[in-house]
Protein backbone atom coordinates (compact mmCIF):
# COMPACT_ATOMS: atom_id res chain seq x y z
CA UNK A 1 0.00 0.00 0.00
CA UNK A 2 1.47 3.41 -0.91
CA UNK A 3 1.39 6.46 1.33
CA UNK A 4 -1.68 8.13 -0.15
CA UNK A 5 -3.63 4.83 -0.11
CA UNK A 6 -2.82 4.32 3.56
CA UNK A 7 -3.84 7.93 4.37
CA UNK A 8 -7.17 7.54 2.59
CA UNK A 9 -7.86 4.18 4.25
CA UNK A 10 -7.16 5.60 7.72
CA UNK A 11 -9.46 8.56 6.88
CA UNK A 12 -12.21 6.09 5.91
CA UNK A 13 -11.66 4.13 9.11
CA UNK A 14 -11.88 7.22 11.28
CA UNK A 15 -15.04 8.35 9.39
CA UNK A 16 -16.55 4.91 10.09
CA UNK A 17 -15.53 5.13 13.75
CA UNK A 18 -17.12 8.56 14.15
CA UNK A 19 -20.23 7.29 12.33
CA UNK A 20 -20.37 4.42 14.84
CA UNK A 21 -20.05 6.89 17.72
CA UNK A 22 -22.93 8.94 16.31
CA UNK A 23 -25.07 5.82 16.05
CA UNK A 24 -27.19 5.84 19.14
CA UNK A 25 -28.29 2.85 21.13
CA UNK A 26 -31.81 3.34 22.35
CA UNK A 27 -33.40 1.02 24.89
CA UNK A 28 -37.07 0.46 25.52
CA UNK A 29 -39.28 -1.74 27.67
CA UNK A 30 -42.76 -2.96 26.83
CA UNK A 31 -45.12 -5.74 27.73
CA UNK A 32 -45.35 -6.75 24.08
CA UNK A 33 -43.24 -5.95 21.03
CA UNK A 34 -45.17 -6.36 17.75
CA UNK A 35 -43.05 -6.75 14.61
CA UNK A 36 -44.94 -5.53 11.53
CA UNK A 37 -47.94 -3.20 11.23
CA UNK A 38 -49.97 -4.86 8.45
CA UNK A 39 -53.18 -6.88 8.46
CA UNK A 40 -52.08 -8.95 11.46
CA UNK A 41 -49.72 -6.70 13.45
CA UNK A 42 -51.98 -3.65 13.51
CA UNK A 43 -54.87 -5.66 14.95
CA UNK A 44 -52.82 -7.32 17.71
CA UNK A 45 -51.30 -3.96 18.66
CA UNK A 46 -54.67 -2.24 18.96
CA UNK A 47 -56.29 -5.06 20.91
CA UNK A 48 -53.41 -5.36 23.39
CA UNK A 49 -53.04 -1.60 23.85
CA UNK A 50 -56.76 -1.23 24.48
CA UNK A 51 -56.50 -4.03 27.06
CA UNK A 52 -54.05 -1.83 28.96
CA UNK A 53 -50.75 -3.48 27.97
CA UNK A 54 -47.74 -1.42 26.96
CA UNK A 55 -47.10 -2.13 23.29
CA UNK A 56 -44.31 -1.21 20.90
CA UNK A 57 -44.85 -1.64 17.15
CA UNK A 58 -41.82 -1.95 14.87
CA UNK A 59 -42.35 -1.27 11.18
CA UNK A 60 -39.54 -1.55 8.64
CA UNK A 61 -41.10 0.87 6.15
CA UNK A 62 -42.14 4.50 6.32
CA UNK A 63 -45.16 6.05 7.99
CA UNK A 64 -46.83 7.23 4.79
CA UNK A 65 -48.56 10.54 4.33
CA UNK A 66 -51.36 9.49 1.94
CA UNK A 67 -51.55 12.97 0.40
CA UNK A 68 -48.11 12.29 -1.10
CA UNK A 69 -49.27 9.12 -2.88
CA UNK A 70 -49.01 9.60 -6.62
CA UNK A 71 -48.96 7.69 -9.87
CA UNK A 72 -45.23 7.87 -10.62
CA UNK A 73 -44.61 4.14 -10.62
CA UNK A 74 -40.87 3.83 -9.87
CA UNK A 75 -41.27 6.07 -6.83
CA UNK A 76 -44.40 4.37 -5.51
CA UNK A 77 -43.00 0.87 -6.02
CA UNK A 78 -39.91 1.90 -4.06
CA UNK A 79 -41.91 3.50 -1.26
CA UNK A 80 -44.67 0.93 -0.83
CA UNK A 81 -43.18 -2.47 -1.66
CA UNK A 82 -40.38 -4.74 -0.54
CA UNK A 83 -37.53 -4.93 -3.07
CA UNK A 84 -39.09 -2.09 -5.13
CA UNK A 85 -41.96 -4.40 -6.08
CA UNK A 86 -39.55 -6.91 -7.62
CA UNK A 87 -39.42 -9.54 -4.90
CA UNK A 88 -39.30 -12.88 -6.69
CA UNK A 89 -39.08 -16.59 -6.19
CA UNK A 90 -35.56 -18.00 -6.43
CA UNK A 91 -36.04 -19.08 -10.07
CA UNK A 92 -37.32 -15.60 -10.97
CA UNK A 93 -40.63 -17.04 -12.20
CA UNK A 94 -43.09 -15.44 -9.76
CA UNK A 95 -43.14 -11.79 -8.70
CA UNK A 96 -44.36 -11.45 -5.11
CA UNK A 97 -45.88 -8.09 -4.14
CA UNK A 98 -45.55 -7.30 -0.47
CA UNK A 99 -46.21 -4.03 1.24
CA UNK A 100 -43.62 -2.22 3.28
CA UNK A 101 -44.69 0.64 5.51
CA UNK A 102 -47.18 1.39 8.25
CA UNK A 103 -50.30 -0.60 7.33
CA UNK A 104 -48.26 -3.22 5.44
CA UNK A 105 -49.84 -4.69 2.32
CA UNK A 106 -53.25 -3.25 3.27
CA UNK A 107 -52.09 0.18 2.06
CA UNK A 108 -51.93 -0.89 -1.57
CA UNK A 109 -54.28 -3.86 -1.51
CA UNK A 110 -57.57 -3.78 -3.36
CA UNK A 111 -59.95 -4.07 -0.41
CA UNK A 112 -61.97 -7.16 -1.29
CA UNK A 113 -63.32 -8.07 2.15
CA UNK A 114 -64.11 -11.76 2.05
CA UNK A 115 -64.84 -14.26 4.81
CA UNK A 116 -63.68 -17.78 3.94
CA UNK A 117 -66.29 -20.54 4.09
CA UNK A 118 -66.69 -22.05 7.56
CA UNK A 119 -65.80 -25.48 6.16
CA UNK A 120 -62.23 -24.28 5.55
CA UNK A 121 -61.87 -22.85 9.06
CA UNK A 122 -63.24 -26.13 10.47
CA UNK A 123 -60.61 -28.00 8.50
CA UNK A 124 -58.00 -25.75 10.06
CA UNK A 125 -59.52 -26.60 13.49
CA UNK A 126 -59.51 -22.96 14.55
CA UNK A 127 -62.00 -21.91 17.22
CA UNK A 128 -65.15 -20.07 16.18
CA UNK A 129 -64.02 -16.72 14.76
CA UNK A 130 -67.43 -15.30 13.85
CA UNK A 131 -67.38 -12.58 16.50
CA UNK A 132 -63.78 -11.71 15.55
CA UNK A 133 -64.81 -11.34 11.91
CA UNK A 134 -67.75 -9.14 12.89
CA UNK A 135 -65.58 -6.79 14.98
CA UNK A 136 -62.88 -6.58 12.31
CA UNK A 137 -65.47 -5.77 9.65
CA UNK A 138 -66.89 -3.03 11.80
CA UNK A 139 -63.51 -1.45 12.50
CA UNK A 140 -62.53 -1.61 8.82
CA UNK A 141 -65.91 -0.24 7.73
CA UNK A 142 -66.74 -3.20 5.50
CA UNK A 143 -69.79 -2.61 3.29
CA UNK A 144 -71.38 -4.07 0.19
CA UNK A 145 -70.04 -2.47 -3.01
CA UNK A 146 -72.86 -0.48 -4.56
CA UNK A 147 -73.86 -0.68 -8.21
CA UNK A 148 -72.65 2.85 -9.17
CA UNK A 149 -69.18 1.83 -7.91
CA UNK A 150 -68.90 -1.11 -10.31
CA UNK A 151 -66.60 0.42 -12.94
CA UNK A 152 -66.63 -0.41 -16.63
CA UNK A 153 -63.90 -3.04 -16.28
CA UNK A 154 -65.90 -4.99 -13.72
CA UNK A 155 -69.18 -4.46 -15.58
CA UNK A 156 -67.68 -5.88 -18.79
CA UNK A 157 -66.34 -8.91 -16.90
CA UNK A 158 -69.75 -9.43 -15.31
CA UNK A 159 -71.35 -9.23 -18.77
CA UNK A 160 -69.07 -12.04 -19.95
CA UNK A 161 -69.78 -14.09 -16.85
CA UNK A 162 -73.52 -13.77 -17.39
CA UNK A 163 -73.16 -14.97 -20.99
CA UNK A 164 -71.17 -17.98 -19.75
CA UNK A 165 -73.81 -18.57 -17.04
CA UNK A 166 -71.11 -18.85 -14.39
CA UNK A 167 -71.34 -17.76 -10.77
CA UNK A 168 -70.00 -14.30 -10.02
CA UNK A 169 -70.66 -11.87 -7.18
CA UNK A 170 -70.24 -8.17 -6.49
CA UNK A 171 -68.17 -8.28 -3.31
CA UNK A 172 -67.94 -6.34 -0.07
CA UNK A 173 -65.01 -4.00 0.56
CA UNK A 174 -63.32 -1.89 3.21
CA UNK A 175 -63.43 1.39 1.39
CA UNK A 176 -65.33 4.64 1.88
CA UNK A 177 -66.46 6.84 -0.98
CA UNK A 178 -64.28 6.42 -4.09
CA UNK A 179 -64.45 9.42 -6.42
CA UNK A 180 -62.64 7.52 -9.23
CA UNK A 181 -59.84 10.06 -9.08
CA UNK A 182 -57.78 8.13 -11.63
CA UNK A 183 -54.93 7.68 -9.21
CA UNK A 184 -53.56 4.16 -9.03
CA UNK A 185 -55.31 2.19 -6.30
CA UNK A 186 -52.34 -0.17 -6.25
CA UNK A 187 -50.16 2.68 -5.05
CA UNK A 188 -52.20 3.55 -1.99
CA UNK A 189 -55.11 5.93 -1.84
CA UNK A 190 -54.48 9.68 -1.52
CA UNK A 191 -57.92 10.10 0.06
CA UNK A 192 -57.59 7.70 2.94
CA UNK A 193 -57.07 9.49 6.23
CA UNK A 194 -57.44 8.30 9.80
CA UNK A 195 -61.01 7.36 10.69
CA UNK A 196 -60.55 9.40 13.85
CA UNK A 197 -60.19 12.55 11.73
CA UNK A 198 -62.81 11.44 9.25
CA UNK A 199 -65.47 9.21 10.81
CA UNK A 200 -67.53 9.27 7.61
CA UNK A 201 -64.64 7.44 5.86
CA UNK A 202 -63.27 8.26 2.42
CA UNK A 203 -61.11 6.09 0.23
CA UNK A 204 -59.37 2.88 1.24
CA UNK A 205 -59.65 1.78 4.85
CA UNK A 206 -56.24 0.26 5.34
CA UNK A 207 -54.75 -0.67 8.70
CA UNK A 208 -52.81 2.61 8.54
CA UNK A 209 -55.99 4.66 8.91
CA UNK A 210 -58.06 2.32 11.10
CA UNK A 211 -56.31 -0.02 13.55
CA UNK A 212 -52.98 1.83 13.82
CA UNK A 213 -54.51 5.18 14.90
CA UNK A 214 -56.66 3.28 17.42
CA UNK A 215 -53.59 1.46 18.77
CA UNK A 216 -51.73 4.77 19.13
CA UNK A 217 -54.73 6.40 20.81
CA UNK A 218 -54.65 3.56 23.35
CA UNK A 219 -50.98 4.25 24.10
CA UNK A 220 -49.06 1.98 21.71
CA UNK A 221 -45.70 3.38 20.54
CA UNK A 222 -44.84 3.08 16.85
CA UNK A 223 -41.34 3.01 15.39
CA UNK A 224 -41.43 3.30 11.60
CA UNK A 225 -38.32 2.91 9.39
CA UNK A 226 -37.32 0.43 12.06
CA UNK A 227 -36.34 -3.08 10.99
CA UNK A 228 -36.38 -5.88 13.57
CA UNK A 229 -33.13 -7.79 13.16
CA UNK A 230 -33.15 -10.35 15.93
CA UNK A 231 -35.62 -11.85 18.35
CA UNK A 232 -33.96 -12.70 21.65
CA UNK A 233 -34.78 -15.86 23.52
CA UNK A 234 -33.51 -16.97 26.91
CA UNK A 235 -34.33 -20.32 28.48
CA UNK A 236 -36.83 -20.98 25.67
CA UNK A 237 -38.68 -17.76 26.38
CA UNK A 238 -38.90 -14.63 24.19
CA UNK A 239 -37.35 -11.68 26.01
CA UNK A 240 -37.09 -8.94 23.41
CA UNK A 241 -36.04 -7.69 20.00
CA UNK A 242 -33.09 -5.82 18.50
CA UNK A 243 -33.92 -3.47 15.67
CA UNK A 244 -32.23 -1.01 13.35
CA UNK A 245 -33.29 2.63 13.07
CA UNK A 246 -31.80 5.22 10.69
CA UNK A 247 -30.22 6.83 13.77
CA UNK A 248 -28.82 3.64 15.27
CA UNK A 249 -29.92 0.59 17.21
CA UNK A 250 -33.01 -0.02 19.26
CA UNK A 251 -33.12 -2.75 21.89
CA UNK A 252 -36.49 -3.66 23.33
CA UNK A 253 -37.03 -5.82 26.35
CA UNK A 254 -40.50 -7.31 26.40
CA UNK A 255 -42.46 -10.09 28.05
CA UNK A 256 -43.88 -11.27 24.74
CA UNK A 257 -42.99 -10.83 21.07
CA UNK A 258 -45.53 -10.96 18.24
CA UNK A 259 -44.15 -11.78 14.82
CA UNK A 260 -46.40 -10.22 12.16
CA UNK A 261 -43.92 -9.32 9.44
CA UNK A 262 -45.77 -11.19 6.66
CA UNK A 263 -45.35 -14.72 5.35
CA UNK A 264 -41.91 -14.11 3.82
CA UNK A 265 -40.29 -11.84 6.42
CA UNK A 266 -41.64 -13.61 9.50
CA UNK A 267 -39.91 -16.95 8.79
CA UNK A 268 -36.88 -15.00 7.56
CA UNK A 269 -36.56 -13.25 10.93
CA UNK A 270 -37.19 -16.50 12.81
CA UNK A 271 -34.38 -18.24 10.91
CA UNK A 272 -32.05 -15.24 11.04
CA UNK A 273 -32.53 -15.10 14.81
CA UNK A 274 -31.62 -18.80 15.00
CA UNK A 275 -34.75 -19.64 16.96
CA UNK A 276 -35.58 -23.32 17.49
CA UNK A 277 -36.62 -25.16 14.33
CA UNK A 278 -36.47 -28.77 15.43
CA UNK A 279 -39.06 -30.14 13.01
CA UNK A 280 -37.66 -28.02 10.13
CA UNK A 281 -41.14 -26.62 9.47
CA UNK A 282 -40.16 -22.96 9.79
CA UNK A 283 -40.49 -21.42 6.32
CA UNK A 284 -42.03 -24.54 4.80
CA UNK A 285 -45.66 -24.81 3.61
CA UNK A 286 -45.38 -21.61 1.55
CA UNK A 287 -48.49 -21.01 -0.55
CA UNK A 288 -48.55 -18.11 -3.00
CA UNK A 289 -51.93 -18.05 -4.77
CA UNK A 290 -49.95 -17.68 -8.01
CA UNK A 291 -51.89 -15.79 -10.63
CA UNK A 292 -51.74 -15.50 -14.38
CA UNK A 293 -53.00 -12.43 -16.21
CA UNK A 294 -55.28 -12.86 -19.24
CA UNK A 295 -55.98 -9.66 -21.17
CA UNK A 296 -58.81 -8.97 -23.59
CA UNK A 297 -58.69 -6.17 -26.15
CA UNK A 298 -62.04 -4.51 -26.77
CA UNK A 299 -63.32 -2.03 -29.32
CA UNK A 300 -65.11 -0.12 -26.57
CA UNK A 301 -63.19 2.00 -24.08
CA UNK A 302 -62.73 0.22 -20.74
CA UNK A 303 -60.62 2.73 -18.77
CA UNK A 304 -59.87 0.17 -16.08
CA UNK A 305 -57.69 2.69 -14.27
CA UNK A 306 -60.76 4.67 -13.20
CA UNK A 307 -62.65 3.79 -10.05
CA UNK A 308 -62.56 0.63 -7.97
CA UNK A 309 -60.35 -1.86 -9.83
CA UNK A 310 -61.91 -4.98 -8.31
CA UNK A 311 -65.54 -5.07 -7.21
CA UNK A 312 -66.73 -8.33 -8.72
CA UNK A 313 -65.28 -11.81 -9.03
CA UNK A 314 -66.14 -15.21 -10.42
CA UNK A 315 -66.06 -18.15 -8.00
CA UNK A 316 -67.58 -20.73 -10.35
CA UNK A 317 -64.36 -22.76 -10.22
CA UNK A 318 -63.68 -22.68 -6.50
CA UNK A 319 -65.75 -24.91 -4.28
CA UNK A 320 -63.97 -25.33 -0.97
CA UNK A 321 -66.68 -27.68 0.30
CA UNK A 322 -66.66 -30.20 -2.55
CA UNK A 323 -63.05 -29.78 -3.72
CA UNK A 324 -61.09 -28.44 -0.77
CA UNK A 325 -57.68 -28.63 -2.43
CA UNK A 326 -58.13 -27.20 -5.87
CA UNK A 327 -59.76 -24.46 -7.86
CA UNK A 328 -59.29 -20.83 -8.77
CA UNK A 329 -60.98 -17.47 -8.78
CA UNK A 330 -61.29 -15.24 -11.83
CA UNK A 331 -60.74 -11.63 -10.77
CA UNK A 332 -60.90 -8.45 -12.83
CA UNK A 333 -57.45 -6.96 -12.94
CA UNK A 334 -55.93 -3.72 -13.89
CA UNK A 335 -52.50 -2.19 -13.55
CA UNK A 336 -50.62 1.02 -14.03
CA UNK A 337 -49.05 1.60 -17.45
CA UNK A 338 -45.74 0.18 -16.26
CA UNK A 339 -47.29 -2.98 -14.83
CA UNK A 340 -49.45 -3.52 -17.92
CA UNK A 341 -46.41 -2.90 -20.14
CA UNK A 342 -44.48 -5.55 -18.22
CA UNK A 343 -47.39 -7.98 -18.54
CA UNK A 344 -48.00 -7.58 -22.26
CA UNK A 345 -46.12 -9.89 -24.62
CA UNK A 346 -43.83 -8.99 -27.48
CA UNK A 347 -41.19 -6.36 -28.12
CA UNK A 348 -40.69 -3.13 -30.09
CA UNK A 349 -43.38 -2.11 -32.57
CA UNK A 350 -45.56 -5.10 -31.69
CA UNK A 351 -45.50 -4.20 -27.99
CA UNK A 352 -46.09 -0.50 -28.71
CA UNK A 353 -49.22 -1.35 -30.69
CA UNK A 354 -50.59 -3.34 -27.77
CA UNK A 355 -49.80 -0.53 -25.33
CA UNK A 356 -51.69 1.90 -27.55
CA UNK A 357 -54.77 -0.19 -26.71
CA UNK A 358 -54.24 0.44 -22.95
CA UNK A 359 -57.62 2.11 -22.46
CA UNK A 360 -59.31 -0.78 -24.30
CA UNK A 361 -57.93 -3.64 -22.21
CA UNK A 362 -60.00 -5.61 -19.71
CA UNK A 363 -58.06 -8.31 -17.93
CA UNK A 364 -58.73 -11.21 -15.62
CA UNK A 365 -56.41 -12.76 -13.09
CA UNK A 366 -56.63 -16.50 -12.61
CA UNK A 367 -55.89 -16.72 -8.89
CA UNK A 368 -54.92 -20.27 -8.02
CA UNK A 369 -55.87 -22.03 -4.77
CA UNK A 370 -52.50 -23.76 -4.82
CA UNK A 371 -51.60 -27.21 -3.54
CA UNK A 372 -47.94 -26.56 -4.30
CA UNK A 373 -45.87 -25.73 -1.26
CA UNK A 374 -42.59 -23.88 -1.32
CA UNK A 375 -40.09 -22.87 1.32
CA UNK A 376 -38.59 -19.65 2.65
CA UNK A 377 -35.01 -20.00 3.84
CA UNK A 378 -32.32 -17.38 4.37
CA UNK A 379 -29.17 -16.84 2.36
CA UNK A 380 -25.72 -16.07 3.74
CA UNK A 381 -26.66 -12.40 4.17
CA UNK A 382 -29.84 -13.27 6.04
CA UNK A 383 -32.07 -12.24 3.10
CA UNK A 384 -35.08 -14.41 2.20
CA UNK A 385 -34.60 -17.13 -0.36
CA UNK A 386 -37.99 -18.18 -1.76
CA UNK A 387 -38.17 -21.62 -3.36
CA UNK A 388 -41.45 -22.51 -5.06
CA UNK A 389 -41.97 -24.80 -8.06
CA UNK A 390 -45.50 -25.31 -9.29
CA UNK A 391 -46.59 -28.93 -9.25
CA UNK A 392 -48.01 -30.38 -12.43
CA UNK A 393 -51.64 -30.46 -11.27
CA UNK A 394 -51.45 -26.76 -10.38
CA UNK A 395 -49.99 -25.91 -13.79
CA UNK A 396 -52.87 -27.77 -15.41
CA UNK A 397 -55.34 -25.84 -13.27
CA UNK A 398 -53.77 -22.51 -14.30
CA UNK A 399 -54.01 -23.50 -17.98
CA UNK A 400 -57.66 -24.42 -17.55
CA UNK A 401 -58.25 -21.13 -15.72
CA UNK A 402 -56.52 -19.09 -18.43
CA UNK A 403 -58.62 -20.75 -21.13
CA UNK A 404 -61.83 -20.10 -19.20
CA UNK A 405 -60.80 -16.49 -18.58
CA UNK A 406 -60.21 -16.06 -22.31
CA UNK A 407 -63.58 -17.64 -23.14
CA UNK A 408 -65.28 -15.22 -20.76
CA UNK A 409 -63.48 -12.24 -22.32
CA UNK A 410 -64.54 -13.35 -25.81
CA UNK A 411 -68.10 -13.73 -24.53
CA UNK A 412 -67.90 -10.15 -23.21
CA UNK A 413 -66.85 -8.89 -26.64
CA UNK A 414 -63.04 -9.05 -26.70
CA UNK A 415 -61.58 -9.10 -30.20
CA UNK A 416 -58.20 -10.48 -29.14
CA UNK A 417 -56.71 -12.20 -26.11
CA UNK A 418 -53.20 -11.38 -24.93
CA UNK A 419 -51.23 -13.56 -22.57
CA UNK A 420 -48.05 -12.54 -20.72
CA UNK A 421 -45.78 -14.93 -22.62
CA UNK A 422 -42.39 -13.72 -23.71
CA UNK A 423 -43.64 -13.80 -27.31
CA UNK A 424 -46.88 -12.37 -28.70
CA UNK A 425 -49.21 -15.05 -30.07
CA UNK A 426 -52.39 -13.33 -31.26
CA UNK A 427 -55.40 -15.28 -29.98
CA UNK A 428 -58.40 -14.13 -32.00
CA UNK A 429 -60.85 -17.02 -31.88
CA UNK A 430 -61.80 -19.83 -29.51
CA UNK A 431 -59.87 -22.22 -31.77
CA UNK A 432 -56.67 -20.25 -31.05
CA UNK A 433 -57.09 -21.03 -27.34
CA UNK A 434 -55.31 -24.29 -28.11
CA UNK A 435 -52.13 -22.15 -28.05
CA UNK A 436 -52.56 -21.71 -24.29
CA UNK A 437 -52.96 -25.45 -23.78
CA UNK A 438 -49.97 -26.28 -25.99
CA UNK A 439 -47.73 -23.64 -24.47
CA UNK A 440 -48.69 -24.61 -20.90
CA UNK A 441 -47.27 -22.89 -17.84
CA UNK A 442 -43.49 -22.89 -18.06
CA UNK A 443 -41.60 -20.86 -15.44
CA UNK A 444 -40.10 -17.70 -16.94
CA UNK A 445 -41.97 -18.24 -20.23
CA UNK A 446 -45.10 -16.68 -18.77
CA UNK A 447 -45.31 -13.99 -16.13
CA UNK A 448 -46.81 -15.16 -12.84
CA UNK A 449 -47.61 -12.94 -9.89
CA UNK A 450 -48.41 -13.45 -6.23
CA UNK A 451 -50.07 -11.03 -3.83
CA UNK A 452 -50.98 -13.49 -1.08
CA UNK A 453 -47.96 -15.34 0.36
CA UNK A 454 -49.08 -17.44 3.33
CA UNK A 455 -48.55 -20.54 5.46
CA UNK A 456 -44.85 -20.42 6.43
CA UNK A 457 -45.24 -20.65 10.24
CA UNK A 458 -48.14 -23.00 10.14
CA UNK A 459 -50.50 -23.25 13.12
CA UNK A 460 -51.80 -26.50 14.57
CA UNK A 461 -51.71 -28.45 17.79
CA UNK A 462 -49.32 -31.19 16.62
CA UNK A 463 -45.79 -29.92 17.42
CA UNK A 464 -44.24 -32.32 14.93
CA UNK A 465 -46.09 -30.85 11.97
CA UNK A 466 -46.60 -27.23 12.97
CA UNK A 467 -44.62 -24.23 14.14
CA UNK A 468 -47.16 -22.53 16.40
CA UNK A 469 -50.19 -23.65 18.38
CA UNK A 470 -53.74 -22.62 17.52
CA UNK A 471 -53.29 -19.83 20.07
CA UNK A 472 -50.54 -18.43 17.82
CA UNK A 473 -47.83 -19.19 20.41
CA UNK A 474 -44.72 -21.02 19.28
CA UNK A 475 -44.51 -24.71 20.19
CA UNK A 476 -40.85 -24.19 21.08
CA UNK A 477 -40.54 -20.67 22.54
CA UNK A 478 -42.79 -19.37 25.28
CA UNK A 479 -44.03 -15.82 24.76
CA UNK A 480 -43.32 -15.82 21.01
CA UNK A 481 -46.54 -15.45 19.02
CA UNK A 482 -47.28 -15.27 15.29
CA UNK A 483 -50.16 -13.16 13.97
CA UNK A 484 -50.02 -12.81 10.20
CA UNK A 485 -50.61 -14.76 6.98
CA UNK A 486 -47.86 -17.19 8.00
CA UNK A 487 -50.38 -18.92 10.29
CA UNK A 488 -52.50 -20.48 7.53
CA UNK A 489 -52.28 -24.30 7.51
CA UNK A 490 -53.26 -24.49 3.81
CA UNK A 491 -53.92 -22.10 0.98
CA UNK A 492 -57.02 -20.12 1.88
CA UNK A 493 -58.22 -19.79 -1.72
CA UNK A 494 -59.91 -16.39 -1.23
CA UNK A 495 -58.58 -12.88 -0.46
CA UNK A 496 -57.00 -13.27 2.98
CA UNK A 497 -57.05 -9.93 4.82
CA UNK A 498 -60.20 -10.40 6.90
CA UNK A 499 -59.07 -13.86 8.00
CA UNK A 500 -55.60 -12.62 8.97
CA UNK A 501 -57.16 -9.80 10.97
CA UNK A 502 -59.72 -12.08 12.66
CA UNK A 503 -56.97 -14.58 13.57
CA UNK A 504 -54.81 -11.72 14.88
CA UNK A 505 -57.64 -10.61 17.14
CA UNK A 506 -57.91 -14.18 18.39
CA UNK A 507 -54.12 -14.31 19.02
CA UNK A 508 -54.34 -11.05 20.99
CA UNK A 509 -57.02 -12.56 23.23
CA UNK A 510 -54.81 -15.64 23.75
CA UNK A 511 -51.87 -13.45 24.78
CA UNK A 512 -54.05 -11.76 27.38
CA UNK A 513 -55.53 -15.05 28.60
CA UNK A 514 -52.14 -16.77 28.79
CA UNK A 515 -51.20 -14.45 31.64
CA UNK A 516 -47.70 -14.20 30.19
CA UNK A 517 -47.80 -10.42 30.41
CA UNK A 518 -48.50 -9.95 34.11
C1 LIG B 1 -51.61 -5.91 -4.92
C2 LIG B 1 -52.30 -6.58 -3.78
C3 LIG B 1 -53.68 -6.56 -3.70
C4 LIG B 1 -54.32 -7.23 -2.66
N5 LIG B 1 -55.68 -7.18 -2.59
C6 LIG B 1 -56.31 -7.79 -1.56
C7 LIG B 1 -57.71 -7.71 -1.43
O8 LIG B 1 -58.39 -7.08 -2.26
N9 LIG B 1 -58.30 -8.35 -0.38
C10 LIG B 1 -57.58 -9.07 0.52
O11 LIG B 1 -58.17 -9.66 1.43
N12 LIG B 1 -56.23 -9.15 0.43
C13 LIG B 1 -55.59 -8.52 -0.57
N14 LIG B 1 -54.23 -8.55 -0.65
C15 LIG B 1 -53.47 -9.35 0.34
C16 LIG B 1 -53.35 -8.71 1.71
O17 LIG B 1 -53.08 -7.33 1.62
C18 LIG B 1 -52.23 -9.41 2.47
O19 LIG B 1 -52.46 -10.80 2.41
C20 LIG B 1 -52.17 -9.00 3.93
O21 LIG B 1 -51.98 -7.61 4.07
C22 LIG B 1 -51.02 -9.74 4.62
O23 LIG B 1 -51.03 -9.41 5.97
P24 LIG B 1 -49.76 -9.69 6.88
O25 LIG B 1 -50.03 -9.12 8.21
O26 LIG B 1 -49.41 -11.12 6.76
O27 LIG B 1 -48.56 -8.89 6.16
P28 LIG B 1 -48.47 -7.39 5.70
O29 LIG B 1 -49.80 -6.73 5.64
O30 LIG B 1 -47.68 -7.40 4.44
O31 LIG B 1 -47.64 -6.68 6.86
C32 LIG B 1 -46.34 -7.05 7.21
C33 LIG B 1 -45.59 -5.80 7.65
O34 LIG B 1 -44.41 -6.19 8.35
C35 LIG B 1 -43.36 -5.32 7.99
N36 LIG B 1 -42.08 -5.98 8.22
C37 LIG B 1 -41.54 -7.01 7.53
N38 LIG B 1 -40.35 -7.35 8.05
C39 LIG B 1 -40.14 -6.53 9.10
C40 LIG B 1 -39.08 -6.40 10.03
N41 LIG B 1 -38.01 -7.21 10.02
N42 LIG B 1 -39.17 -5.42 10.97
C43 LIG B 1 -40.25 -4.61 11.03
N44 LIG B 1 -41.28 -4.70 10.15
C45 LIG B 1 -41.23 -5.65 9.21
C46 LIG B 1 -43.62 -5.05 6.52
O47 LIG B 1 -42.94 -3.88 6.09
C48 LIG B 1 -45.13 -4.92 6.50
O49 LIG B 1 -45.53 -3.60 6.72
C50 LIG B 1 -53.57 -7.90 -1.67
C51 LIG B 1 -52.17 -7.87 -1.73
C52 LIG B 1 -51.55 -7.22 -2.77
C53 LIG B 1 -50.05 -7.23 -2.82
Q: Is the CB of 175 under 6 A from ligand 1?
A: no
The answer to the question of residue 13 being in a domain is no
The answer to the question of residue 257 being in a domain is yes
State the Cα–Cα distance between residues 93 and 452, nearest whole angstrom. 16
Per-residue pLDDT tens digits for 261-281: 999 999 999 999 999 998 999
Same domain, 113 and 235: yes
State the Cα–Cα distance between residues 251 and 58, nearest whole angstrom. 11
At 5 the pLDDT is: 47
Same domain, 39 and 111: yes
Percent of the chain with pLDDT over 70: 95
Q: Is the CB of 500 under 6 A from ligand 1?
A: yes
C-alpha 515, offset from chain centre: 31
Helix axes 497-514, 130-140, angle to 10 degrees: 120
Same domain, 77 and 166: no
Q: How many domains does the chain have?
A: 2
Asked whether residue 380 carries a pLDDT value surpassing 90, the answer given is yes
Asked whether residue 489 carries a pLDDT value surpassing 90, the answer given is yes
Residue pair 456/376 in contact by the 8 Å Cβ criterion:
yes
Distance 409 CA to ligand 1 centre (A): 30
The answer to the question of residue 160 being in a domain is yes
Judge if ipTM > 0.95. Answer: yes
Which ligand 1 atom sits nearest the alpha carbon of residue 82? Answer: 47
Same domain, 353 and 483: no
Same domain, 166 and 296: yes
The answer to the question of residue 14 being in a domain is no
Which CATH number characterizes residue 435's domain? 3.30.410
The answer to the question of residue 19 being in a domain is no
At 1 the pLDDT is: 42
Q: Which of 250, 497, 508 to mutate to test the pocket of ligand 1 (most atoms within 8 A of CB)?
A: 497
Q: What are 366's strand-pairing partners? A: 292, 330
State the Cα–Cα distance between residues 449 and 475, nearest whole angstrom. 32
Same domain, 298 and 410: yes
**Number of helices followed by number of strands (H, E) in the chain:** 13, 19
Same domain, 263 and 347: no
Per-residue pLDDT tens digits for 409-421: 999 999 999 999 9
Range of the domain at 315: 146-175+291-369+391-442
User: What's the rounded mean pLDDT across residues 438-453?
Assistant: 96
Find all residues with CB under 8 Å of 233, minimum gap 6, and list them: 239, 273, 275, 276, 477, 480
Per-residue pLDDT tens digits for 6-38: 455 555 555 555 555 567 889 999 999 999 999
Tell me which H or E stretch contains 158: helix 152-164
The answer to the question of residue 229 being in a domain is yes
195-226 b/e (C-beta count within 10 Å ≥ 16 → b): beeeeebbbbbbbbbbbbbbbbebebbbbbbb
Same domain, 199 and 166: no
- Please state the φ and ψ torsions of residue 348, each to the nearest 5 degrees: 55, -135
Distance 104 CA to ligand 1 centre (A): 5
First vs last C-alpha separation in the chain: 60
Which CATH number characterizes residue 235's domain? 3.50.50.60
At 183 the pLDDT is: 65
Asked whether residue 482 carries a pLDDT value surpassing 70, the answer given is yes
Same domain, 504 and 406: no
Residue 184: pLDDT band (50, 70, 90) is confident
Residue 442: pLDDT band (50, 70, 90) is very high
Same domain, 126 and 219: yes
More confident residue, 364 or 424: 364
More confident residue, 416 or 2: 416
Amino acid sequence: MNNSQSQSSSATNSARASQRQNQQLQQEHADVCVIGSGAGGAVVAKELAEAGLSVIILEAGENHDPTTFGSYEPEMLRRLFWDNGLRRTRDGAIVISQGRGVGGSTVHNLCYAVRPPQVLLDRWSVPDLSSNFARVEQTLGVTQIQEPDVNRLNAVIRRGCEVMKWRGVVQRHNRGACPACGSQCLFGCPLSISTQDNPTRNGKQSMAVTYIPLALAAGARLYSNCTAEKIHVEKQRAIGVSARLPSGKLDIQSKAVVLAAGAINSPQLWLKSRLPNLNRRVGSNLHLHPAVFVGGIFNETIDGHLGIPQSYYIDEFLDLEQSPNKGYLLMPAFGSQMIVAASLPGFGEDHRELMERYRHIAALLVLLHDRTTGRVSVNYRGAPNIAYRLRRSDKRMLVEGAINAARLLFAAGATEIVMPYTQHFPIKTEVDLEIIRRRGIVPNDIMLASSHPQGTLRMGENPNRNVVKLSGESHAVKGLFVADASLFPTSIGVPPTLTIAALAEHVASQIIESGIVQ
